[in-house]
Structure 1
Amino acid sequence: MRLTNLPSEFQKALPILEKIKSAGYEAYFVGGSVRDALLHRPIHDVDIASSSYPQETKAIFERTVDIGIEHGTVLVLEQGSEYEVTTFRTEDVYVDYRRPSSVNFVRSLEEDLKRRDFTVNAFALDERAQIIDKFNGLEDLDNKLLRAVGKAEERFNEDALRIMRGLRFAASLDFDIEDATFQAMMTHAPLLEKISIERSFIEFDKLLTAPHWKKGVKAFKDSRAYCYLPGLEESQDKWDEFTAAYSDDFVFSSSEQAWAALLIALDVPAVKPFLKKWKTSAQFQKIVDALVSLYRFRQSEQLGLRQLYQYGRETIEVIEELRQAQGLAVDFEKIAELDQSLLIHDKHDIVVNGGMLMSELGIKPGPELGKILSQVEWAIVDGKLANKKETIFDFIANLDSK
């Protein structure tokens, strides 16, 4: 098969292939970029595989960087762009269900493609736009089927993260997982405990934010992969509720929104400790925690000025999007009106500060000063006090007289 229209990303990189071939070696575009071209999806990274060994690749190009030369990868800097050129290789025994103990450079494209995860990721594309398909990946692509290359048991035993990748591909591509491949996923799911949680987070996060996340979540549940990921061990009866809660066409707008929705569905009492187990950043934990808290508040309360001030309009709208997708009542116009009516959006917007109260009103530092500043802050937020110096001083004087 030939691509009738070679995407511009490949056209731009053609000189790389041509230079390698003119030096007497083979070179092809490989991997996900070829799959995405066939599916008419956006192309991100263009990867190149070559029969040239790393030192041979470096001899062909003037500017290169050794980014992973022990694994056969050389970064080629050409015409203002960067391209990873990786030598055809086979891999030795995997020592930790993630990384091979060693790699062996080879001259055979087919040997290189054999080590890849799924047939739809094992294509190669030459400079004439000809597709090389050694494992019936084109048929699987037509059938929207995800199938492991070769023996599925071997692929997942080599690298257990491929289980999470497969589930993510189901969600992003809207593909079904071939039966034998899925059975191997289920069998090898316990190996996920041996994979770094940061890696699993990346794949699961991509699954949750994918267009067909419901399909991915169903496969995730049916594979029982959740049993081997932190905090999800006892979540079996929650997954159907999670997917059923949202309209079929709803797609999460951000990772934070997706994880907040998940933790709400799982009824996780303490958000930050849960996400800490997944080794997420403190900032990510803070945002998701705020979203979950706000959602729970909205289950029984209406929004007011204090919520707009405390959480901010953007955070509130993220939660209201979730509520809207669940068929619950929302009012974005009211949110906008409340936000506009706020006199301040941050305590630093207040025209007075602690230093002024100490120097001009003689208030001593300590808990009492903090209490007064808090009373001023919330009075302004509630619209009961103008954000003006004289008015605030009068307000404080009246506090003293009470």
Structure 2
Amino acid sequence: MKLKNVPSEFQKALPILEKIKTAGFEAYFVGGSVRDALLGRPIHDVDIATSSYPQEIKAIFDRTVDIGIEHGTILVLENAGEYEVTTFRTEDIYVDYRRPASVSFVRSLEEDLKRRDFTVNAFALDEDAQVIDLFDGLADLDHRLLRAVGKPQERFSEDALRIMRGLRFVASLDFTIEEQTFTAMKTHAPLLAKISVERSFIEFDKLLTSPFWKKGLRALIDSEAYAYLPNLQDQIAGLEQTLTAVADDFVFSSSEQAWAALLMNLKSTPVKSFLKKWKTSVQFQKTVTSLIDLYDHRSLEGPNRQTIYRYGKNLAILVEDLRQAQGLPVAYDLIEQLDESLAIHDKSEIVIRGGDLMAAFAIKPGPALGKVLAEVERAIVEGELSNDKAAILEFASQRLQ
């Protein structure tokens, strides 16, 4: 079939294909970008596959970067754009259930496409917008079916991360996994324990923040893949609860909100230690912890100046979103009003520092000074004290007497 509406991203990259073909080689757009174009979804990365070898690509284009030349990938800098161009290749045995021991460059498009994970990711698109479909991917696309290319058992034993990628595609594309493919996923799920945590996090995070995350999470549970992910081994009840805790059409606004919601449904476990196992950043851990703390506080009382000052309007709104998705009362307008009423949003905005008080009242650093500074901050937040130097000195003098 021919792609009727060619995305501008492909049109802009078309001269790359034409230049390679003029040099006597084959070249195609391949992979997920072709799938997304067929589905009418936004295009992110344009990948090009070619029969020309890396050194031949470097001879065709003036500006290139060897970003993965050992695997056949060259970054071509052309027409104010950057394009990854990869040589058709076959792969040797996978030594760690993730990466092949070696790759061999070939001149055959079919040999290159047959090593890909799912049929809907194994399309090629030529310069005339003709879709090349060697594995009935178009039929699977019509049926919104996720099917492994070739033998599913081989695809997942080669690269176990494909299991998580498949579950993520279910969540992002609203696809159903073909029966034999799903059986192979479930059989090979234990291999996920051998995959780097960072890689699994990326896929699970994308799953949770996708429009159809409930469908993806359902597939994660049913495949039993969760049992081989950090800290989820005995969390089946919490995962099931996550599916029913919020409205069916609710979509998480951020990764931090998604993980906070997940953790609130799991068995009691220290948030930071849980997220450390997933190799997340300290800032990510801090934000998720704050969201959970604020949610718990919000369950006890409504928003007030101190909570908006401490946690910030953005986190407060994320918490309200979770409450709304659970059918609980919300206070968006109050949060906006409280935020606007704050004279400061961070203590660095206070016009006086500890050194100013030490100089004005001849006091030394210590608990007394710290207590006064805390009282100044609280009073400004509550609107009891102006963020004015003279007013703050008068306020402090009364408390230092």
What TM-score range do you get, normalising by the shorter chain? over 0.9
Q: What residue is the counterpart of 2:51 in the other structure?
A: 51
Aligned to 1:377: 377
Across the aligned residues of Structure 1 and Structure 2, the Cα RMSD in angstroms comes to 1.2
Q: CA deviation at 1:325?
A: 1.2
Q: Using the alignment, how far apart are the partners of 2:87 and 2:355 within structure 1?
A: 65
The equivalent residue for 1:320 is 320
| Cα drift, residue 267 of structure 1 | 4.5
Q: Deviations over 1:63-92 (max 9, x none)?
A: 111110100011111111111111110000
Aligned residue type for 1:206: K
Is 1:367 aligned with 2:390?
no
Tell whether the 8 Å contact from 2:49 to 2:88 is kept in structure 1 after alignment: yes
The CA deviation string for residues 133-164 of structure 1, in whole angstroms up to 9 with x for no partner, is: 11110110000000000111110000000000
Structure 1 equivalent of residue 244 of structure 2: 244
> In 2, Cα distance between the equivalents of 1:68 and 1:298?
50
Give the residue type in structure 2 aligned to 1:377.
Answer: E
The alpha carbon displacement at 1:343 in A equals 2.5
Structure 2 unpaired stretches of 5+: none
Question: What SS does structure 1 have at the residue aligned with 2:300?
Answer: coil
Q: Match of 1:116?
A: 116
Instruction: Tell me, in whole angstroms, the C-alpha distance in 2 between the residues paired with 1:126 and 1:343.
Output: 60
Q: Secondary structure at the match of 2:110?
A: helix
Deviations along 1:81-114, whole A, 9 cap, x unmatched? 1111111100001000000000011111111001
Q: Summarize the alignment of residues 1-400 of structure 1 with structure 2, pairs less than 5 Å apart.
A: 1-400=1-400
Shift of 1:128: 1.1
Distance, in Å, in 2 between the alignment partners of 1:30 and 1:350 is 56
Aligned length: 401
| Structure 2 Cα separation of the partners of residues 7 and 342 of structure 1 | 47
The one-letter code matched in structure 2 to 1:232 is L
Report the residue type matching 1:392 in the other structure.
I
Going from structure 1 to structure 2, the CA distance change for 1:359 and 1:9 (only over 3 Å counts) comes to same
CA distance in 1, matches of 2:156, 2:176: 17
Instruction: Give the aligned residue type for 2:318.
Output: V
Measured after TM superposition, the shift of residue 221 of structure 1 is 0.9
Distance 2:129 2:18 in 1: 13
Q: Distance in 2 between matches of 1:211 and 1:314?
A: 21
In structure 1, runs of 5+ residues without a counterpart are: none
> Where has structure 1 moved over 4 Å in runs of 4 or more?
none
TM-superposed deviation, 1:248: 1.8
How many angstroms does 1:286 deviate by? 1.1
Quote how far apart the aligned CAs of 1:353 are. 1.2
Letter aligned with residue 393 of structure 1:
L
Q: Deviations over 1:182-234 (max 9, x none)?
A: 11111111111111111111111110111111100100111111111111111
- Measure, in 2, the Cα distance between the counterparts of 1:351 and 1:25: 68
- Give the TM-score, by structure 1 length: 0.97
SS in 2 for 1:336: helix
CA distance in 1, matches of 2:336, 2:44: 37
- Work out the CA distance in 2 between the residues paired with 1:343 and 1:28: 58
Moved more, 144-153 or 248-257: 248-257
Give the TM-score of the pair, scaled to structure 2.
0.97
Closer, same or farther in 2 for the Cα pair 1:6/1:386, shift >3 Å? closer
Structure 2 Cα separation of the partners of residues 14 and 375 of structure 1: 65
